[in-house]
Amino acid sequence: MFALTRFLLQSYTRKHAYFAAFAATLISMGLLYSYKPNPVMDSYAVTSVFLFIGSAWIALSFLNHAGPQQEQLHMIHIGSMRKYLLSQITALIIPVILLTFIFILYPIVFRMFGEPVRFHELMLAICGHLVMGILGFALALFCQKGLMANGTRATSILLILMIVSIAAKSLTGLLPEALAWLRWILPPVSLMMNGLMNSKSIPTYEVWGTLGYGLFYFAVLVLVYTAISVRRDART
């Protein structure tokens, strides 16, 4: 399985399909830190959203870079659809980890903050970026060509999902109280961003609980995606 993960990453990077997404994500970070000093957790909250968007973009190009024939060969070679899907997800986690450490270390190394980063802030920022990143690519799983033949429509749906996820707190605030529960159906990007930004005023258990909910949401998306893919494979 790890051999297939490595092969998928090598195949993807050889086609340079990742360059635009990586470059745009890093340029966004550079623009954010174009002046200093910056507030610690506010800045990390913003870069975590950059990672959410960037990982979705990277995932979409990664999932679409191989043809259906090549995917069938991979599944035959590894022995099952579930192992192939796990290899895909493992491959997508690697750029999330890489970008997380770039986003975390860059402002520290180049002294972009106006105050020292405390240990609990560092841990919160790392976990926040990781959860945001995996949520981004989890949404992209459902918008690949294998599930949506119309690439333009799939990209549009993914963009709408990301925009609604980022603005969910404001959007659900406009709804009647009876519909306030809808905020828990949408990806908890807005909730996590708010938790990171206001980590000094929000109880610690609540901030970590929000990140835990984001991780749970990711797990549900992966399970649903796996079930859909396995059923689709059984029918073909």
DSSP per-residue string spanning 103-146: HHHHHHHTT-BSSPPPHHHHHHHHHHHHHHHHHHHHHHGGGSTT
Neighbours of 112 (CB within 10 A): 17
Report the C-alpha gap between 187 and 48 in whole angstroms: 14
Q: What percent of the chain has a predicted confidence (pLDDT) above 70?
A: 92
pLDDT tens digits, 212-234: 999 999 999 999 999 998 887 65
The CA distance from 51 to 28, in Å, is 10
Of 38 and 10, more confident: 38
The owner of tokens 């796990």 is 86
pTM value > 0.75: yes
Q: Which pLDDT tens digit goes with each residue over 107-139?
A: 999 999 989 999 999 999 999 999 999 999 999
Handedness of CA 93, 122, 110, 54 (dihedral sign): positive
Q: How many angstroms separate the CA atoms of 119 and 215, rounded?
A: 22
| In the chain, % of residues over pLDDT 90 | 62
Residue 10 or residue 116, greater confidence? 116
**What region, left, alpha or beta, does residue 116 occupy, with left being phi > 0 and alpha being psi -120 to 50 degrees?**
beta
